[in-house]
Homo-oligomer: A and B are copies of this chain.
Amino acid sequence: MRTLRGRLDLCALNTATLGYQCAIEQTIEAVARAGFGAIAPWRRELEDRDAARIGQRIRDAGLKVSGYCRSTYLPAATRERFLANIEDNRRALDQAAALGAACFVMVVGGLPEGSRDLGAARRQVQEGTALLLEYARGAGVALALEPLHPMYAADRSCLNTLAQALDLCEALEPADAARTPMLGVALDVYHCWWDPELPMQIARAGRARRLLAYHVCDWLVPTRDLLLDRGMMGDGVIDLAGIRHQMEQAGYGGAVEVEIFSGDNWWKRPVNEILAVCGERLQSSC
């Protein structure tokens, strides 16, 4: 397993971790100054910005773009709205390409308003991902399906396990040794750490060359909020070293990206403090 000690250049900072306290230009400078090797911006930070210029600015700061967050939810109550969601994602893929992002992170969405039909939502995800995969190939940006924790199945993602995400990858883009997959997965420990099949499915994803991103934070006990109470690495119960070992055994060589949603704790702290603690914990607890 790679050591991260003294190697923040192997690590990325997902900007959500900073609670969007400053503009993307300042965030880029702060992340570079803290020693990280990559950054993963969010679409909200690029509103009213030229993605190509932000991409240049990121490169000028010595950073890579480990991923671009994230897709508009796919499932919708009407066909018209579904197609609008696809179109929205095509524009986001254009931005991801202009940024030079390693992948476009797909959080696929849950049940449309008023629906209890999880199967139908999942079929929409499959159709929508197929449509976007075509476009992503043209744009040269890989799609990273991020399975979300089952507690988000209703309202954020009906894609809930790594096995399910890999089944979808294989259905839409059958294995072909001659070409690099453009459809893969973003594995976030927060969403997947509990899964009894995790080691097996990480190995499967590695064999299929579909491990596109690796996100870390921690699971706090107790967890006080379903969305905004993620922990700093080391403060919770996830076996972070164990999971990273599995990832790297499976061939993952990309960034170790910190992504923490923490409304009542980390987001209330100054950006430079958050970055310093993230950097320290990446080296000591991941």
Name A residues whose Cβ lies closer than 8 Å to a Cβ of B. Answer: 111, 115-118, 122, 149-151, 153-155, 158, 160-161, 163-164, 193-196, 219, 221-223, 226, 236-239, 242
- Given known pairs A226-B226, A239-B118, the reply for A221 and B151 (CB within 8 Å) is no
Q: Which residue of B lies closest to A168 (CB)?
A: B196
Contact of A151 among B150, B195, B239 (CB under 8 A): B150
Question: Smallest Cβ distance from A184 to chain B, in angstroms?
Answer: 19
Taking a contact as CB atoms under 8 Å apart, the answer to whether A196 and B151 are in contact is: no
Question: Smallest Cβ distance from A167 to chain B, in angstroms?
Answer: 8
- Given known pairs A149-B150, A150-B151, A221-B154, the reply for A194 and B226 (CB within 8 Å) is no
Residues of B within 8 A of A151 (CB): 149-151, 223, 226
Taking a contact as CB atoms under 8 Å apart, the answer to whether B149 and A111 are in contact is: no
Classify the secondary structure of A's interface with B.
Answer: loop
Within the assembled complex, what's the spacing in Å between the Cα atoms of A155 and B149?
A: 16
Taking a contact as CB atoms under 8 Å apart, the answer to whether A194 and B118 are in contact is: yes
Residues of B within 8 A of A155 (CB): 221-222
Question: Smallest Cβ distance from A168 to chain B, in angstroms?
Answer: 10
Within the assembled complex, what's the spacing in Å between the Cα atoms of A226 and B221?
A: 11
Taking a contact as CB atoms under 8 Å apart, the answer to whether A194 and B150 are in contact is: yes
Report 26 cross-chain contacts, Cβ distance below 8 Å, ordered by A residue. Answer: A111-B221, A115-B237, A116-B237, A116-B239, A117-B239, A118-B193, A118-B194, A149-B150, A149-B151, A150-B151, A150-B195, A151-B151, A153-B193, A154-B194, A154-B219, A154-B236, A154-B237, A155-B222, A158-B194, A160-B196, A161-B196, A163-B196, A164-B196, A222-B226, A223-B226, A226-B226
Residues of B within 8 A of A226 (CB): 151, 222-223, 226
